Structure 1
Amino acid sequence: MDTATLGNLALVAAAFAAAFLAALWLSLILWTYRDIRSRSRDPLIRILALLVVGVLFLPGVLIYLILRPSRTLEEEYQRTLEEEALLQNIEDTPVCPGCTRRIQPDWQICPNCHTRLKKICHHCGKLMELSWNLCPYCGTPAPGMRREAVSIEDALQHLPLEEIEENRPASPSLSGGMPFSAPNAEDAEFRKDKE
């Protein structure tokens, strides 16, 4: 082989090496851009990361890998959601007013300090808060509460419409076709005044 051929081969090899290094340099810059974009929203940090890799090439990639944020934005978002869910669970967990330990919502008595947490409706058997005077499930007054304390309007609100229709007294036909309405406090005062 003569020197011209060897020179041409060396020139072709150098051209391939230069093309490979240029492609590697551009691909590392592109990879860095995509990676930093998924890890940071700050435009200054993005530009600095690209400059470090673009100017220093392979040592710049090593520096970028050391200094880049450890989590992507998606991972940070998922972590934040998990923390919020854990905090929400902790806040939603009821605690005993006596010993401040966690309790279950369907417990009637705290197993630790024996504090009464709920009472049972004597009519439907469902658990009620201690402060409730009326069962929200069946409308029955709590034990010890006089029945007269519940107004007619309150009682009618807890009855299904069919029971209201069945229990409604037959009203005489009124002129003007006004429907029957439940007596209220004003009607009771009016009757007392008349007597």
Structure 2
Amino acid sequence: MSNVVIAIPLFMLMIIVALLPLLIGVYVYRDAKRRGMNAALWTLIAILAPSLIGFIIYLLVRGNYSNLKCPRCAATVTEQYVVCPKCGAKLKPSCPNCSAPVEPDWTVCPKCAQPLPTVQEDIVTPVQPKDKTLWKILAAIIIVPVVLLLVLGLSFSAASGGGSSSLREVSFDEYYADQELPESTKEYVRNWLGEINPRTDHVYALRYTY
């Protein structure tokens, strides 16, 4: 029973360790493809690099690639896009004179010095999808192994403490009843025990050959 208790957490830990690279690979491939990166290359780097180094490098590099989406057609756009190249939705304010991109709080176009209107209509702001999968992966990397190690430690403790031992006093005849010894040897030991006058605070040893 104790072996089963220990084997279950170990089996679960092995499953997590085996599935984690697959989960990371699927996530990196989809995220890199969505950002316009080399999805196959980054997937191999994230999976094959030891100790999650490839995955960490990918998370650092991907910040240079846009993850913004057009709110109308969900096409990938960047912060520099004035309009969506797929559906034509206006993503940023622009100068009505030279069409240069401007910021909402600017009053004059820095390119042509044209006064800018206070409000520009029909502008849809790009959105950034929530990355819930990344948090799930981080939870699997950090929380799950810790929990499984705790369970494994408790299992070892239960297995080591589950056994019981007991001591009981037996007589000479009871002890030697199942011993395959010559009767002369048993008689010698019996005589020896009778001669030593044993005390409870002493330890006695008898060595004999047979």
Same fold (TM over 0.5): no
Structure showing greater relative contact order (alpha-carbon pairs closer than 8 Å, 6 or more residues apart): 2
TM-score by length of 2: 0.34
TM-score by length of 1: 0.37
